[in-house]
Structure 1
Amino acid sequence: MPVRFIHTSDVHLGKTYRASGCDAQRYQDFFTTFAAIVTDAVREQVDFVLIGGDLFHTGQILPRTFAKTIEILQPLKDAGIPCLAVEGNHDWIHRRDSISWMEALSQLGYIYLLRPSRSADGGYLFDAFDPEQGSGGHIEVKGVNIYGLGYIGSQAGNHVPRICDAISTRRNILLFHVGVWTYSPVEIGNIKPEEAQPLAACFDYVALGHGHKPYIVNDADGRPYAFNPGSPDCVNFGEERYDKGYYLVALDQDGKVQHEFRRTTPRPMLVVTANLDGAGNATDALELFKAQMAQKLAGCADDRAPLVEVRLAGKVGFHPFELSRDRLRASLCEICEPLHLEIKNHLSLVAGGGGEEKVKKSLAEIERDVLGELIGANSHYQGRVDELTRLSLALRDLVLKGDVEGEELLSLLSSGGDQCA
């Protein structure tokens, strides 16, 4: 009989929107999605469950988040189904003198946190998992060897040869929180497809994480060997374009993989553009906005209140600030009641002068220009102005959303912005 398992990743328990008044409902969404995966694992009587990192949204979580996670994982423990996990960049705790919540789950026996040690010359040591200590880099389940490696940053590609050198067994799975370039939407923390190829010779199945878009990577002979299920819920706006789900996998004795992508049903997430081009005043713009939203949101048949991002575009004859968030939300609520609303104002003001129309820069363009000038004034940052401007704006947006912890901001700065993805 083949070994059967579920592979999920980037669950992001604890994610919410603290500043929007919908924190309790959005917080629960991620637990509901994860609980459905666990229920499926028990129903299918799989041999184990793999979590490819970012089980939590931040390294420092609330005690109630930990308690709710244990409640969801309890059926796996009761059914004797091992849950094997690695740490993602969101799980990672920066003060290594403190125990992480992932380590606590492992020590309590709810997960097997796989984390290798390193030799004096920088090689990897995948020691056998010690249940008493709740640590180790390798575990065997029904004749299959599972190796785990969490997030190791932008130099991950250089580590692949060392990972392969440490493997001497057959029927192997690698659980690795990393993305593969050209497939993953994440910008940092990936490896190139050619850097990943050696893994295909050592592992029958490489269980990826990190990017929230599902994809499969083939080896040089066209054999699928690396799988990323993406996130089972919509974590950030932009992900509404991706399928959401997880893999149910069967691994035969000869290493052949059969996989099924099982879709989840996350709360609707919508990104819509309102083209207000030509509106002479805010009242006309609101009517135009309302008409377009009624048309674009008409197809949302889900009973759950959606998460909505509205992008305002066009050249208008009034100051964009006149379209306040409150006025736009009130107009939108006449059509639907969004659980959470974000507004991206890219309107440009058109001013008349000398018989010609002159388009002034949008607010977003002005922000970028001012930041770029400030950063570029320091010679130390020459050559990195665009990169640091994007990072500064990303930090600003995260803080304004109110759904980010200090640890995550620190990680964003340390990794150069990859957590914006």
Structure 2
Amino acid sequence: MRASFIHVADIHLGYEQYGVGERFNDFARAFWEIMDEAVRRQVDFVVIAGDLFNKRSIDARTLLQAIEGLRRLRERKIPVIAVEGNHDRSYYRDGVSWLQFLCHQGYLTLLAPQMRGGAPVIAPWSRQTMLGSHVDLLEGQLRVYGLPWQGSATLRCLEGLAEALAAEHAHEEAAGPEYRLLVMHTGIEGVVPRLQGLPSLSHFQRLRPYIDYVALGHIHKPYEFESWIYNPGSPETWSAEEAQWQERGYYFVEIDTGKAQPGGTAERPCYHRATHLVNSRRPFVRYDLRVDGLPTPEAIYARLAEFCQREGPRYAGADQCQRPVVQVQLVGTLAFDADALDLQRLEELLRSAFQPLHARVENNTSDRDYLLDGEGLDGRDRSTWHELERRIFAELLGHDSRYLPAKEAWGQVLAELKERALQKEDPAVLAHYLREKRAELLSGGEPAR
């Protein structure tokens, strides 16, 4: 049997990053480009390993973007197999997610096995109930299993899935599928340091005798293990921290069950070749400007001007889709009062040098004192109150040795979390933000996704 498919995940349609309308369109453009590539390569099917949408409640524009991309495949009879990610799942009170809606409308097949005792039940997907663990394609020669986001229950689900697949294999006739995929929305422990609660690579090993290709999503950093487990990364930049992971995109996978490829095991040879491809996306420039040792605001302006002169020319003459998003973080300890620093002037330097779609300067520095000279606490200066709250959070967290090395950054996180909560932002999004920052700051390295 010969076949090919595309594996994509973490598309996050509907994300209007930084409140910039063109960023909303960027996520759709990335999705459409990959769908067009599926058509161009004439693949047999496409798998979406969760988080097609950025949040559970979407607007009409976001739904139209999803339909536009999926329509291109449906018109050419290219099946789309998907599972729900943590961003896709419906609210309990609603009962129906937007992925279920797209499934009902025939744009994709949404795999969602029934659960029994915390383990998935192996049963064919039913169009009537829109439930089931798997679908068979290519006249039954290829089977796709799916398991949506399970959160803290993921380990138990993997154990139950391994047991169910072993039982299925024992009772299966010789003429079963030649090739089997598993599509899941979960990460693997250790890919992003200190991201807790994910299965380890060893938890997947029990599936190895029954599965040829594991298609993952959830972590936005691309990775693969043992020519068997694959995660493509996010097609667009969901957060500035992801800019360091340049090789994000999607997989084009070619299957030939008559020719073994390098990798695999004696029990389960590798019959595919997975090529990781990088789609077009908007450039993202991130720079940490350390203020330690810079005695005056003018010294900071000069340091940023040096960065702009060095990096800005790379983006000269960029068209609308390639104008960068530029984010600068001020880090370290200021040698002067924070109010003396003109953030608007810093942003203007960025705008002049990069001609960006969006320029953003975040002040994550610390001062030597809680209060700036001459400032009152009568509530009229909101920025003063915000800075005071941040410093108090930092001081309190500094009493715990786990948070002491990055207490200033933790103070900024908690202050930001409070502001977003007061704006009634989606609790699921806030929880995700806190998990991300916790993993980043405790590791002192790469952020989680």
Instruction: Find the counterpart in structure 1 of residue 252 from structure 2.
Output: 248
Between the two proteins, what is the percent identity of the paired residues? 29
C-alpha displacement of 1:331? 2.1
- How far did residue 399 of structure 1 move? 5.6
Counterpart Cα distance in 2 of 1:350 and 1:140: 64
Displacement of 1:390 in angstroms is 5.5
Task: Give how far 1:312 is off.
Answer: 1.8
The aligned residue for residue 377 of structure 2 is none
How far apart in 1 are the matches of 2:435 and 2:330? Answer: 31
8 A Cα contact 2:118 2:153, kept in partner:
no
- Specify whether residues 191 and 24 from structure 1 end up closer, same or farther in structure 2 by C-alpha distance, changes over 3 A only: same
Q: For 1:223-272, what per-residue CA distance to the aligned partner results, in whole angstroms no more than 9, with x for missing partners?
A: x1110011111111111121121000012226511111111121011111
Q: 1:344 aligns with which of 362, 367, 370?
A: 362
Bigger mean CA offset, 387-396 vs 66-75: 387-396
SS of match in other structure, 1:84: strand
Q: How many angstroms does 1:179 deviate by?
A: 0.8
Change (3 A) 1:217 1:319: same
State the alpha-carbon separation in 2 of the partners of residues 107 and 225 from structure 1.
Answer: 31
Which deviates more from structure 2 when the two are superposed, residues 107-116 or residues 315-324? 315-324
The residue that corresponds to 2:14 in the other structure is 14
Tell me how large the CA RMSD over aligned residues is. Answer: 3.5
Identify the residue that residue 4 of structure 2 maps to in structure 1: 4
Quickly say closer, same or farther: Cα 1:414–1:267, change in 2 above 3 A: closer
Letter of the 1:122 counterpart = G
Q: Describe the shift of the 1:407–1:45 C-alpha distance in structure 2 as closer, same or farther (beyond 3 A).
A: farther
Secondary structure in 2 matching 1:197: helix
- 2:66, 2:423 → 1: CA distance? 19
CA distance in 1 between partners of 2:24 and 2:213 (Å): 32
**Deviating more after overlay: 10-19 vs 51-60:** 10-19
- Number of paired residues? 396
Residues 82, 402 of structure 1: alpha-carbon distance in 2 compared, 3 angstrom cutoff:
farther
- Cα distance in 1 between the residues matched to 2:324 and 2:336: 30
- Residue equivalent to 1:125: 121
- Alignment partner, residue 354 of structure 1: none
Greater mean deviation of Cα atoms: 44-53 or 131-140: 131-140
Alignment partner, residue 157 of structure 1: 155
1:326 CA displacement:
1.8
TM-score by length of 2: 0.78
Helix, strand or coil at the partner of 1:297: helix
Deviation at 1:194, TM superposition (A): 1.1
Matches within 5 A, 1:258-273: 258-273=273-288
Partner of 2:235 in structure 1? 232
Does residue 57 of structure 2 align to residue 60 of structure 1?
yes
Q: Which residue in the other structure is 2:223 paired with?
A: 215
Q: CA deviation at 1:327?
A: 2.2
Give the 5 Å matches for 1:220-369: 224-242=227-245, 243-253=247-257, 256-300=271-315, 302-303=318-319, 304-349=322-367, 366-369=391-394
Instruction: Determine the structure 2 residue equivalent to 1:204.
Output: 212
Q: Is the 8 A contact 1:18 1:402 kept in 2?
A: no
Instruction: State the distance in 2 between where 1:74 and 1:391 align.
Output: 46
Q: CA shift at 1:182, angstroms? A: 2.1
Distance 1:285 1:241, change over 3 A: closer
Q: Is the 8 A contact 2:393 2:415 kept in 1?
A: no
Write the distance in 2 (CA, Å) between the matches of 1:112 and 1:297.
Answer: 45
Equivalent of 2:42, from 40, 45, 55?
45
User: Within the alignment, does 1:35 sit opposite 2:49 as a pair?
Assistant: no
User: 3-state SS of the aligned residue for 1:239?
Assistant: helix
Q: Is the alpha carbon distance of 1:371 and 1:267 closer, same or farther for their aligned partners in structure 2, counting shifts above 3 Å?
A: farther
- SS of 2:225's equivalent in the other structure is strand
Q: Unpaired segments of 5 or more residues in structure 1?
A: 219-223, 352-361, 377-381
**Residue 299 of structure 1, CA deviation:** 3.5
* Residue 86 of structure 1: aligned partner: 83
**Residues 1:408 and 2:423 are matched in the alignment:** no
Match among 416, 419, 435 for residue 396 of structure 1: 416
Conserved 8 A contact 2:315-2:323: no
Equivalent residue, structure 2, for 1:139:
135
Moved more, 79-88 or 324-333: 324-333
Contact conserved, 1:307 with 1:341, CA < 8 A, in 2? yes
Aligned 8 A contact 2:394 2:411 in 1: no
* 8 Å Cα contact 1:186/1:211 also seen in 2: no
Distance 1:217 1:3, change over 3 A: same
Alpha-carbon shift at residue 68 of structure 1 (Å): 1.8
Shift of 1:335: 1.0
Shift of 1:26: 0.3
Greater shift, 296-305 or 47-56, is seen at 296-305
**Distance of aligned partners of 1:62 and 1:179 in 2 relative to their CA distance in 1, 3 Å threshold:** same
**Cα distance between partner residues in 1 of 2:196 and 2:313:** 37
Tell me the TM-score normalised to structure 1 length.
0.83
Runs of at least 5 residues in structure 2 that lack an aligned partner in the other structure: 170-176, 259-269, 370-386, 440-446
- Cα deviation, 1:257-310, whole Å, max 9, x if unaligned, reads 111111112101111122444433323432332223322334346542211221
SS of 2:151's equivalent in the other structure is coil
Change (3 A) 1:230 1:241: same
8 Å Cα contact 2:124/2:134 also seen in 1: yes
Change (3 A) 1:287 1:267: same
How far is the alpha carbon of 1:199 from its aligned partner?
1.9
CA distance in 1 between partners of 2:194 and 2:360 (Å): 22
Contact 1:276 1:289 in 2 (8 A): no
- Contact 1:15/1:403 (8 A) holds in 2: no
Aligned mates of 1:41, 1:403 — CA distance in 2: 40
Q: Provide the rounded CA distance (Å) in 2 between the counterparts of 1:342 and 1:414.
A: 21
AA aligned to 1:208 is L
